[in-house]
Homo-oligomer: A and B are copies of this chain.
Amino acid sequence: MAQDEFAIIERYFSSIGKPAGNIALGIGDDAAVVDVPPTEQLVVSMDTLVGGVHFPLDTSPADIGHKALAVNLSDLAAMAATPAWFLLSLTLPQNDADWLHQFASGLSQTAETFKLQLIGGDTCQGGLSISIQIAGLVPAARYITRQHASPGDLILVTGELGNAALGLAHKQGRIDLPQNLQAKCLLALNRPQPRLELVPFLREHASAAIDISDGLQGDLAHLLKASGCGAKLEQLALPVNDWIGQQGCYDYALAAGDDYEICCCVAATRRNEIDSWNRGHPDCRLSIVGEITRSGYFLHDGERLIDLDNAQGYQHFD
């Protein structure tokens, strides 16, 4: 089956996502043309997943398609932006119609769920790698950054931490997860859910936010650096599954990465708003895991204070 680059684009990628009102010219020309409403700002990010580095090479093509978009959507969620469109650059070893069909279907499903359209990109031959550049919109000056956390703010995280890393460790035979956790942890690994439902809460209440892609410990350190603050985390308050709690292996939740939950900071006066959020959103619960301080970075493990200042999250280069 001889298909060239243009046929690939036309066949698999020319109609991913619902046509949106702000796309003046979509996929198929030298570039796409888009309108940005004058009351909005554009929020842009770009993340690459490399086969064998960011996902095991035997991951299903549909899961890869989903995950490549989900990790980018997670960056928009952390900025309190609403998804608008994306571009895809797909590098793959050979032109495999079956692989492409499944990849495009996973990508397409997630694009429709989060209401954004594929408007351009590139296909190349090479080692499997997927780069997505995503764009979202936010009402002028309503975006949230890592920069404005204040001492006294509560530190919150969505969902459960560590499940994706447990899923990977189980898949690689490094641990043997109990039966009842396997499906959940593999789902967290292969089908991370970007927390876009949190955007209204962030715009209303958050002083700062970051998505947890490299582990809470390392990612919160970036937020602290940007805000010029310190923090104290409570290990026993971390939202983890029973197995992590029983085994005491909190490193999966603190340092392993691939969670794509949101960590945000909220003034302590807003506990009622947090409770109210949690009553309305059982699938995207916010847990209070610590407090912003003036300086220093510590983990209280229930007995001791551990200095995290020189510790790091997942590093892409050794």
Contact = CB atoms under 8 A, between A and B. Distances in A.
Contacts of A48: 89, 91, 122, 124, 131
Contacts of A315: 4-5
B316 A125 contact: yes
A89 to B, nearest CB: 4
Interface in A3-41: 3-6, 8, 24-25, 28-36, 38, 41
Contacts of A242: none
B210 A30 contact: yes
Nearest to A25: B145
A129 B91 contact: yes
Nearest to A119: B44
Interface string A218-229: 000010001000
Interface residues of A, number: 72
Nearest to A8: B317
Interface stretch (A75-83, A108-116, A276-284): A75-83
A295 interface: no
A74 to B, nearest CB: 8
A42 B36 CA distance: 7
13 contacts: A3-B317, A6-B222, A8-B317, A29-B147, A30-B75, A30-B209, A31-B44, A31-B75, A31-B81, A38-B38, A44-B120, A51-B126, A122-B131
A143 B33 contact: yes
Contacts of A24: 41, 143
Interface centre among A25, A54, A95 (most CB of B within 10 A): A25
Contact of A89 (B41, B43, B47, B124): B47
A32 B43 contact: yes
A311 interface: no
Contacts of A94: 317
